[in-house]
Chain A
Amino acid sequence: MSDKPLTIQSDRTMLLDVHSPSAESCREDIIAFSDLVKSPEHVHTYSVSSLSLWNAISSGLTAEEIIGRLKKWSRFDIDERVSFFIEDQCRRYGDFVLEEYDDEDLILTVRRKIFALQLMGEKSLSSILRPNDESSFLVSRMQRGTLKALMIKLGFPVDDRIPLKNGTPLPIKLKDNFTPRYYQIDAAKALVGNGGAGTGFGTIVLPCGSGKTIVGMLVASALSTNTLILTPNITALRQWKRELLDKTELKEGDIGEYSGEKKEIKPVTICTYQVLSWRQGDDEDYKHFNLFRQRGWGLIIYDEVHMLPAPVFRITAELQAIHRLGLTATLVREDGREDEVFSLVGPKRYDTPWLELERKGFIAKAYCHELRIPLPEEEEVPYALASGREKFRIAAENPNKTAVVRKLLEKHKDDRILIIGQYIDQLKALHKELGFPLITGTMANRKRDELYQSFRDGEINTLIVSKVANNAIDLPDASVLVEISGTFGSRQEEAQRLGRILRPKSRDSHFYTLVTEYSREEEFAQNRQKFLSEQGYSYTIERIEDA
C-alpha cells in the first residue's frame, strides 16, 4: 500500500486505510466535509453528500480547500465527476439566503432568477413562501425550520444568516474534579463553532459509555445560558441531574425536573420525551409544549436524539433560533428518519470510530460471542411445523439455553452480569431456577431503581431484565451481558445493549448472544449485529454441543 491513505470512488465514497501512518491526520482533514458511514477494522468508509458539503461551507470551508485536501490524501487521481460535484454543490450554497426582515417575517433572497421560478412552482412550498419581488420571498419566523428542511429535500441549501439567540444568561461552571477527554472537548468545540451563523446546532455521535453527558455539559458551560434537556425517560433524567450536581457548580435549586411526577421549571430544566408528547386526546394540543416557550432557553439538549418522538420533531422545526445539541450513540432509526433529525436538530458535527476509543482505553474492550445452541430433539419437529411467530418463540425459549446461562454465570462469577430477554415466561422460569431478581416493565419505578442501585453498589451481581420499555438506556453498567433472546433486526437495541458493558473498567467485557441453531434466530441475530460489525466488532461463533 502506498503511504497515501485515501481512495476516492467516483460515487463520492471515500475509503480510508486505517493502517496507514497518516490515517489519523487524513481523518481530521476530511471529517469536516464528509460523513463516517462505517468503520470496520481495516478500512473506514466516508461519504461526501450535498448535505455534508453544505455544512462544511456553512462553517467556512471552500470548494478549493476541500478539493485540495482530497488531492493531498488521495492515492489516485480524483475523478472529474467528484470534483465537479463538490464545486457545483458548493457554488449552490449561497444561492438562497435567509435573513431578518421584520418582527413577523424572515426574507429569503434567491440569487438566480431561474431558481425563484422553480420555487414558485413548487407545491410543497406554496403555503410557506410569499413572493416579495422577482427574487425574494417572505417567510414567517415559525416556518424557518420547515422551510429549510423542505428546501434541502429539493436540493436547495439555505444559507441561514440569522444568528441564534443567546437566551437568558446563566453561568454554568464546571468543577475541576474531572478532566474532560480530548474527544469530548473536540465534539463540544465542533458544535459551538465560532458562534457565527451556521454554528451552534448539530448532532454528536459517540459510543455508549464514552461520556456523552460530559459533552452536553461542556456545551452548556460554553454557552452559559438557560438550558432545557430532553431525555428519553425518568431514569435518564435523574442521571443527568446527578451528573450536573456532581460536575458543575449548579445547585439543587437551579435544576428543575419536568416529568410525570413534578412540573418544575428552573434555569436548567430536565424533562422526558414522554411528558412532552403527552396530550389528552388525539385532537387536543400538546399542552406541555408550552415548556419550550418559557424562560428564554438558549440551548436545548436532545439526549438519545434517535428516540425523538414525532411531535417533538415537529416543534423542533419552530425552535430554529435556539442552540440545539443532539446526542446519540447510534444514529440509525429503524424508521429511517435520520435525515430529518439532521435537518431539524442539526447536522452531524462529530463522530468517531468505536474501536478507536477502545484502543485508547476510553471504552472497555468488549468481546462479542454468538453461542449456538441446538434445540432439544423433541422440539425439532414442533419447531419445523410451527407458524412464523411460534417458530420464533420456540427458538427463543429453547430450554437448552438455561444450562448455557448457568455455565456463563459460573465462568463469570466475579463479574456483574445482566441477562436480557424478550419473553416474560422464559425470564420468570430463569428467575425461578437461578434465583436472581427479575425486572419487568410492570415493576414500579421505585422498586426498579432500588434494584439497579444495589446492582451498582455490588450487593447483587446478576440481574434478569425484560426488554424494559423497549430500550436499554436506563440499565446500569455491567461487565457481562447475556442476551437470551432478541427482536428481529433491532440494530439499535443491540448497540444500546452493548453500550451497557462499555464503560471502562479493570476487566474486559463480554457480550453473549444465545441463538438457537438452525432456527430463524440465526438470521435475526445477524441482522442485529449489522451495526456493531460495521463498527468493527467481530462476533466469535461458538457451538454448544452438549447443552
Chain B
Amino acid sequence: MLEAAQAISEEEGALLSRIYLTHTLSEIDEEHKASFIERKLVVLDDGMARLSKEAMAAVSAHPLLGTGCEHEIYPECFHQMLIASESEKEMEECAASCFPNLDKAETRRLLEPILSAFSSLGIPEDMETTGLFLSLPFESRLAYILCPLESDKRKAAAKAVALSERIAGLDAAREEEIENLIRRTTDYDDYSFFMLENMQLLYRKNGKLYGRKCQDGEHSLIVSSDFSIIVQGRTSAPLHLFAEPRKGGVVSEWMITRDSVRKSLLSGYGSEKIMMALESEASEAIPESVKSRIRFWEETLSSVKASEAIVLTVSERAERLIRALGPQLEPYVISHPADGIYIMSTETWKWRPIFSTVGLDVLGNIKERTEDGKKADVEISPIIYDISLPEERAVSFDREKRQRLLATDDAYRAALVLSGMICSESQETPELCDVVLGLDYQGKKRLISSAMNHGGKIYAEFIGGSVIIAKPEKSEKEGYVFLNGREIEIAKIWKTALLSISIASITRLKRSSDNDSL
C-alpha cells in the first residue's frame, strides 16, 4: 500500500479523487485511464469506476492536494464535491429501497432523470435538497422517482402507489381489470402491477394480491430541548415546512429555528399544525419548552396579519339588492365598513353566482381565481411540496370498529370508511377522489360521463342528504342520468365523486362481511 502511495503524482492524486467522487472515467484522458487500470488503482464494477483501497490510501497521502481549500485534510478538502456525491448517495439509497429487485446500474439509470430534473429546476443537489426529499412521505418520494420531470403526473403516481399499498386480498386473476381501474381513477397511465411487485409494494399470496403494510422498518422521531429533531426511518411529518435540515444519513437531523418557524407560519402552516405533526410521530414527549417557544413565536409574528380580499364599491341600488341577498352572501362578506363599500373574500367563484341571481355583475380589475386556483395556495414550499395524501392504513375489517366509524352524518365520509380509506376517528375526510360540489354543473357532468365510459361507480349526495352509490347509466333526457334504475336530474345532485377501485371492490366486501364470511 505504501508503494502505491508514493507512486502517484499530485496530478494523479487529483484525478483519482475526481474518480472517487464521480464514479466515472469519462472525464479522464486515455493515458491516465489506462495507467490507472493497469496499476489496479481503479476498478471497473458494473460500468462504475471505483477506487481500490490502495488508491484511496494514495489519495489520502496527499493531504494538501490543491482544490482551492487550503490545508484541509482529506476528505474535508473535497467538501463541496463530497456534499454533492453524498446527496446522490442518499438518493441512491432511497431508490434502492424502492426497487430492491433491481441491480445497482439499473437503479442509477432510474435515478438519472430525478437528479437532472433537480438541477434543471435550479435545485442544487445538496444536503438540504436531499433532506427535503427524504422528509417526504414514501409515496411522494417514489412519485418523484417515477415521474421526475412531469409534476402533473407526479401527484397521480403518488395516488396510484397509495391506492395499491392498500390492496388487501383481491383476486389475482382479475389483475388486469384492477390495473385498469387504478389507471383510470388515478390518471396514472404508466401504472402496472409488475412495477409494484418490482418495488415490493405488492405481493401475491395464494392467488390473492396484497399491498405493502405499514412495515417500513423501525422508525422514530425525537424532539429535544435544544430544538433538534432526530429522525430515523421515514416520517410523514412534513418537517421541511418548519425545520431546517442539518444532516442526512442513516438518521436525519433537523433544527427548529425562529426563521424556519417563521417561514412555516408565513406559508400558513401554523404552530398547532406543527405540534400535531410532531406529536403524531414523536417517540418521546416533546419538551414543553419547545412547544411554548413555537407558540410564542407564532404570537409574536402574527400580531399583524395580511390576507387577500376584494373591495367592492357599489351603487345605492346595488346595495339594496345586496342587502336583500342577506344570509346567502354573508359567509363571503368579510366586512362592510361603510355604505357602498364591501370587503369580500377572494372566493369569487362562490359569491359571483349569488350576485348574478339578482342580476348584478361585477366590473373591476381583479385577478379572478377558480376553485383549482385556490387549491394552488396549499402548495406551501416552493421547492418540494408534499403530495398530500391521506395517511396510509390497512383496511379495517373489525366490524364493531367500522360500525362506530360509520356512525357519521357525513355520507361521503361513510363511503370512504366503507372503502377502507378511513380507518380511524382521527383521520380527516380526505380529498383523494375527484369530488365535485354543488354549483359546478359541467364538472358533475364530466365526472358522471367519465364513470359511464369506464364503468365505474359514483357517489351522489343530494341536497336533502340522501346518498346513492351506483354505476351511472345514460338517460335519453338531456341533463338526467339513471342511478340504480331511477332517472335523476344532474342539477339536483349536490356532491359527486368518482369512486376509486377500493371503494368499488369494498362495497362488495361489505355485503359479504355483513354475512360474516370474512
Contact = CB atoms under 8 A, between A and B. Distances in A.
Contacts of A11: 247, 249
Contacts of B86: 10
A112 interface: yes
B63 interface: yes
B171 to A, nearest CB: 38
A155 B71 contact: yes
B227 A15 contact: no
Contact of A112 (B6, B227, B293): B6
Contacts of A84: 56
Contacts of B218: 1-2
B362 interface: no
B64 A118 contact: yes
Contact of B73 (A115, A155, A372): A155
B315 interface: no
B6 A7 contact: no
A45 B60 CA distance: 27
Nearest to B303: A518
B251 A533 contact: no
Interface stretch (A246-254, A280-288, A407-415, A536-544): A536-544
B198 interface: no
B247 A9 contact: yes
A393 B289 CA distance: 26
B71 A41 contact: no
B36 to A, nearest CB: 19
Given A85-B75, A540-B292, A38 B226 contact: yes
Interface in A42-64: 42-43, 50
B225 A533 contact: yes
Output the residue of B6, B224, B230 with the most chain A CB within 10 A.
B224
A40 B5 contact: no
Interface in B209-250: 218, 220, 222, 224-228, 230, 232, 247, 249-250
A154 interface: yes
A81 B83 CA distance: 13
Nearest to B296: A541
Interface string B1-40: 0100110000000000000000000000000000000000
B284 interface: yes
Contacts of B293: 526, 541
A43 B247 contact: no
A8 B73 contact: no
Nearest to B63: A155
A40 to B, nearest CB: 4
B224 A41 contact: yes
Given A114-B61, A533-B226, A537-B225, A8 B287 contact: no
A400 to B, nearest CB: 17
A41 B287 contact: yes
Interface string A1-18: 110000111110101000
A42 B224 contact: yes
B172 interface: no
Contacts of B222: 42-43
A15 B300 contact: no
Nearest to A154: B71
B431 to A, nearest CB: 35
Nearest to A369: B289
B516 interface: no
A438 B56 CA distance: 65
B514 interface: no
A7 B5 CA distance: 32
Contacts of A539: 225, 289
A534 B73 CA distance: 28
A113 B6 contact: yes
B372 interface: no
Contacts of B89: 10
Nearest to B284: A42
Contacts of A114: 5-6, 61-62
B73 A538 contact: no
A15 B5 contact: no
Interface string A300-319: 00000000000000000000
Nearest to B2: A112
Nearest to A372: B296
B318 interface: no
Contacts of B64: 118, 154-155
A13 B72 CA distance: 18
Given A9-B247, A114-B6, A154-B64, A533 B232 contact: no
Contacts of B284: 19, 41-42
Given A1-B220, A113-B6, A538 B225 contact: yes
A536 B225 contact: yes
B232 A7 contact: yes
A540 B288 CA distance: 7
B71 A518 contact: no
B287 A538 contact: yes
Contacts of A1: 218, 220, 283
A156 interface: yes
Contact of A76 (B75, B247, B250): B250
B75 A518 contact: no
A406 interface: no
Interface string B48-77: 000000001100111110000001111100
Contacts of B63: 118, 154-156
A151 B251 CA distance: 34
B108 interface: no
A43 B223 CA distance: 9
B104 interface: no
B258 interface: yes
A76 B62 CA distance: 31
A474 interface: no
Nearest to B53: A84
A260 B57 CA distance: 56
Nearest to A121: B64
Contacts of B57: 88, 91
A105 interface: no
A522 interface: yes
B490 to A, nearest CB: 56
Interface in A160-189: none
Contacts of B5: 112, 114
A390 interface: no
A24 interface: no
5 contacts: A11-B247, A153-B71, A526-B258, A533-B226, A536-B224
**9 closest A-B pairs (Cβ-Cβ)?**
A155-B73, A40-B224, A9-B249, A538-B225, A533-B226, A541-B292, A155-B63, A538-B289, A534-B226
Interface of A: 1-2, 7-11, 13, 15, 19, 38, 40-43, 50, 75-76, 79, 81, 84-85, 88, 91, 112-115, 118, 153-156, 372, 518, 522-523, 526, 530, 533-534, 536-541
Given A10-B249, A41-B224, A522-B296, 13 more contacts: A1-B218, A2-B218, A7-B251, A10-B86, A42-B284, A43-B224, A75-B250, A115-B61, A118-B63, A118-B64, A154-B73, A541-B293, A541-B296
